[in-house]
Amino acid sequence: MPCAMRCWANGSKQGHIPPCSSMCLSAASRWATKKTSERKQVFEKELPLALEAIRYGDQHFFRHFPSCDFSPIFVHFTSEYPELNRTHPYGIPYMYR
């Protein structure tokens, strides 16, 4: 529900679509780069299913605030390794209906 809560808190000004936000910690400080990279790959593979579940769980919210269905989703992967410390776009909640 963090995506919907963020959209709701920001409101939706006409012509402005607020971004959704969430936080994910994908690496522990003592893990080797290879292990951390493998963990990130698993997370990325399962993320669409998680986003679909969030969208389904918040379907009533999106029915009442339909503009939030078109808010961009960005997921930031936090890691001590620069090559894994990135933000990736994941479309909009509407894609996960």
Q: Which of 40, 28, 21 is nearest to 84 (CA)?
A: 40
The two tokens of residue 83 are 């090559």
- Rounded to whole angstroms, the Cα distance separating 35 from 57 reads 32
Q: Domains in the chain: how many in total?
A: 1
Average of per-residue pLDDT across 63-77: 92
- Residue 54, C-beta contacts closer than 8 angstroms, at least 6 positions apart: 1, 2, 3, 4, 93, 96
Q: Give the 3-state secondary structure of residue 78.
A: strand
Contact (CB, 8 A) for 2 and 22: yes
Stated pTM of the model: 0.65
| Domain residue limits at 70 | 2-8+17-96
pLDDT in tens, 14-34: 455 555 555 554 445 555 778
What value does the mean pLDDT of the chain take? 77
pLDDT in tens, 73-95: 999 888 888 888 889 999 999 99
